[in-house]
């Protein structure tokens, strides 16, 4: 049997950039023979300087980690005391709950609303539940997983103002699909001293396997940043690949354009469906709500196919189907399967 194409993990479906592909054969091999060199010439420092350039944030306020997952875990372990509440959207990444509960915290939720063709953050629902729960930590994910929507800057500022008493985590694991605005980033950090922003190399830069992410955070998170800085240093191969990817941003821009064009084919194909509701996303995946009566047929058809799609398990994410965008030939197969089911239901 042919191996499955995994479209249920939001992993990039595209090759490494040319600079990354060349890395093992290159002069950089020497870095793999050493622990992290903490000098000014180290690749780790070069990566921090690159991130400083990209974000406009001083590198002393940037810390690297083994992906956003490690950063979030350290942050939760550090701040959550038994029974502390963490407020997040009801439709959110399922693993937050595991990490929060492992640290002794209790996740509580506000409702993520929807417009005609997009999910959206809703300040009224947030304010109501912020008051109700007085959470120790708030998590806003932008773009969000699994709904793919971003929060607009002005609305984000309203969320931050509402949550002044809490630690505010802005998870931007899906950073990159929209242009960076350095002024906005600076403004967010000056609005509230308890803000931590996480970003990943797993999504836009397509390398979940290198386990690399970073956070932007001020002095309030000094001990989190210290915990992220291991005595013997970082995986140099990951740092080299991360640095090469950031030196190749034009490549990723082209991939983002392909992803955007491919998403349009799904939107066009399913826009008149009575059984699937497709939402606009700002990510490398799209999200579809399906009629509950179709669940078995849909699951069986996907099971029998050559690809896997994600049916998020959490109660609030029920009847949602998340599809990572792949290359045009595979996307065509996925769309054809959905259209066949759509046709049978008429």
Ligand X SMILES: Cc1ncc(COP(=O)(O)O)c(C=O)c1O
Residues in touch with ligand X (CB under 6 A): 10, 67-69, 93, 141, 145, 171, 173, 200, 202, 208, 213
Closer residue to ligand X, CB minimum distance, 12 or 141 = 141
DSSP per residue over 21-50, as a string?
Answer: HTGGGSGGGGGGGSSPP-STTSHHHHHHHH
Tell me how far, at minimum, the Cβ of 134 lies from ligand X, in Å.
24
Q: Which two tokens stand for residue 46?
A: 């070069």
> How many whole angstroms separate alpha carbon 280 and alpha carbon 270?
12
Chain residue at closest Cβ approach to ligand X: 67
Task: Name residue, tokens 């029920």.
Answer: 318
Tell me how far, at minimum, the Cβ of 312 lies from ligand X, in Å.
11
Q: Which helix (H) or strand (E) holds 82?
A: none
Tell me how far, at minimum, the Cβ of 114 lies from ligand X, in Å.
18
CB atoms inside a 10 Å sphere around CB 159: 19
Q: Which two tokens stand for residue 77?
A: 């372990």
Please say whether the beta carbons of 333 and 19 come within 8 A.
no
Closer residue to ligand X, CB minimum distance, 146 or 269 = 146
Closer residue to ligand X, CB minimum distance, 194 or 322 = 322
Tell me how far, at minimum, the Cβ of 144 lies from ligand X, in Å.
7
Closer residue to ligand X, CB minimum distance, 67 or 269 = 67
Tell me how far, at minimum, the Cβ of 68 lies from ligand X, in Å.
4
Q: Which two tokens stand for residue 344?
A: 């049978």
Cα 211–Cα 252–Cα 170 angle in degrees, nearest 5: 55
Q: Do the bridges between strand 213-217 and strand 195-200 make them parallel or antiparallel, or are there none, so unpaired?
A: antiparallel
Closer residue to ligand X, CB minimum distance, 12 or 200 = 200
Q: Which two tokens stand for residue 153?
A: 């800057």
Closer residue to ligand X, CB minimum distance, 206 or 213 = 213
């Amino acid at each position: 049997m042919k191996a499955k194409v995994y479209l249920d993990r939001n992993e990039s479906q595209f090759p490494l950039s040319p600079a990354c592909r060349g890395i093992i054969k290159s002069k950089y091999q020497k870095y793999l023979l050493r622990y992290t060199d903490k000098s000014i010439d180290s690749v780790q420092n070069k990566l921090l300087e690159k991130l400083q350039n990209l974000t406009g944030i001083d590198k002393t306020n940037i810390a690297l980690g083994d992906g956003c997952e490690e950063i979030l875990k350290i942050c939760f372990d550090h701040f959550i005391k038994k029974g502390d509440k963490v407020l997040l959207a009801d439709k959110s990444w399922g693993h937050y709950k595991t990490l929060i509960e492992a640290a002794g915290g209790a996740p509580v939720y506000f409702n993520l609303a929807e417009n005609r063709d997009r999910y959206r953050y809703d300040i009224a629902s947030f304010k109501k539940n912020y008051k109700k729960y007085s959470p120790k930590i708030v998590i806003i994910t932008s773009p969000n997983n699994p709904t793919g929507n971003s929060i607009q800057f002005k609305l984000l500022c309203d969320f931050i103002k509402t949550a002044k008493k809490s630690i505010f985590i802005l998870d931007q694991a899906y950073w990159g699909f929209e242009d960076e605005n350095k002024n906005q980033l600076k403004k967010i950090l000056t609005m509230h001293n308890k803000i931590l922003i996480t970003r990943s190399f797993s999504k836009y830069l397509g390398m979940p396997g290198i386990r690399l992410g970073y956070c932007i955070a001020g002095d309030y998170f000094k001990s989190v940043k210290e915990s992220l800085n291991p005595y013997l240093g970082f995986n140099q191969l990951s740092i080299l690949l991360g640095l090469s990817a950031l030196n190749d941003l034009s490549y990723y821009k082209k991939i983002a354009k392909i992803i955007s064009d491919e998403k349009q084919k799904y939107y066009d194909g399913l826009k008149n469906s009575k059984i699937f509701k497709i939402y606009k996303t700002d990510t490398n995946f799209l999200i579809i709500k399906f009629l509950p009566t179709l669940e078995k047929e849909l699951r069986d058809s996907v099971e029998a196919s050559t690809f896997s799609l994600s049916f998020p398990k959490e109660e609030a994410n029920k009847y949602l189907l998340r599809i990572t965008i792949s290359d045009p030939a595979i996307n065509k197969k996925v769309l054809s399967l959905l259209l066949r089911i759509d046709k049978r239901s008429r």
